[in-house]
Amino acid sequence: MRATTRASERRWHRYVVIGAQRDAWGACFATSTVGTSLLVELARSVSDMVKNDGFKPRRSIVFASWSAGEYGSVGATEWLEVKYPDSSSTLYSQFAKRSLEPNVLEPFKLDAAAYPFLAFSGIPSVSFGFTSGNLEYPYFGTELDTREKLNVAAGNQVPQLAETAARFAGHMVLRLVHDHLLRMDVMKYNNIIRNHVVQINTKVYSVKRMQPQLLPKALTVQWLISASGSYGRVAQRLVTDMQNSDLEDIEMCRIINDRIMAVERNLLSPYVSPRDSPFRHIMLGSGPHTLKALSNHLDGLKNDHPESDADLFRNQLAMATWTVQGCANSLAGDIWALDNEI
């Protein structure tokens, strides 16, 4: 029997996923035991809130326990590839293990359970954990990953750190399933894109001055500059829409959230093969398609590096330009709208 309204039905088509690796080599205390323990405790706590305190999340929460993590996050990847009965469903996020402070941010590694979510599907993902200065826990993936070893490495504070991690993950999940609008700052990418574009533009002029035979006079970075400007304008427009939005308008909040969620997905370059460049993100990924690679390619041209190629650079510049412009178009809510005729 279905007695729900259309609006309340739709709210369940969005998910927050919190997951942990379940298995590993040897004792696997830090690798899987701690994360799995936190996952189970969070599931119990949220269930109690729903059952006893009347908590009603606006989005569904999926607690996922993945296996085969040591083989390259196979379990998380396979779970991500499961076909949902409702083809319009989308996943909202996935969490695992790394700090969010800007000074300790680092790219996802292949063995991180969050990696396939962001790299393959463009789903905004967070992975966090604790570090002691620049020291790395040396026993990951070994039979020496025991409770005793971890306790020594953590200064005998494993229970306290585990509690802090659980609270941190819990707060993130509760905000994501409770708030009408997702708190993802789309303007932060604007500064990153602009900095890359400035560097590329400066280096293009430098190469043309020092090696005029390599790049044609007609080559400019104007289209990339325009695409960067398009992203900045629509991102600011979205921020304004969020500030002026009616939080009681469920459909409008959903539209705004979908625009926010599309950013990461549209920053995955559609012009490269996942086989050649598994992480196709033009800013967070690796490979010749990234904005950083464009800048490095210009350094190679200027220094006559044997692997540098002017024609390849021009192709990469065009593809990066269309990727940024496509992301701007999607964020604006109209994938066919262009600020200029290209």
Residue pLDDT, tens place only, 166-217? 888 888 888 888 888 888 888 989 999 999 999 999 999 998 888 888 888 8
Closest C-alpha among 63, 65, 59 to residue 92: 59
Looking at per-residue pLDDT, the higher value among 30 and 314 belongs to 314
Domains and CATH numbers, the chain: 6-178 (3.40.630.10), 188-332 (1.20.930.40)
- Written as six digits, the tokens of 47 are 């269930």
Task: Tell me the H-state helices in 5-92.
Answer: 6-11, 34-52, 74-80
DSSP 135: B
φ, ψ for residue 48 (rounded to 5)?
-65, -40
The strand order across the sheet containing 60-66 reads 60-66, 14-21, 90-95, 125-126
Q: What is the mean pLDDT of the chain?
A: 80
Least confident window among 41-45, 111-115, 187-191, 195-199: 111-115
Closest C-alpha among 137, 123, 130, 209 to residue 162: 130
Average pLDDT over residues 290-302: 92
Which residues have CB under 8 Å from 216's CB, separation 6+?
none
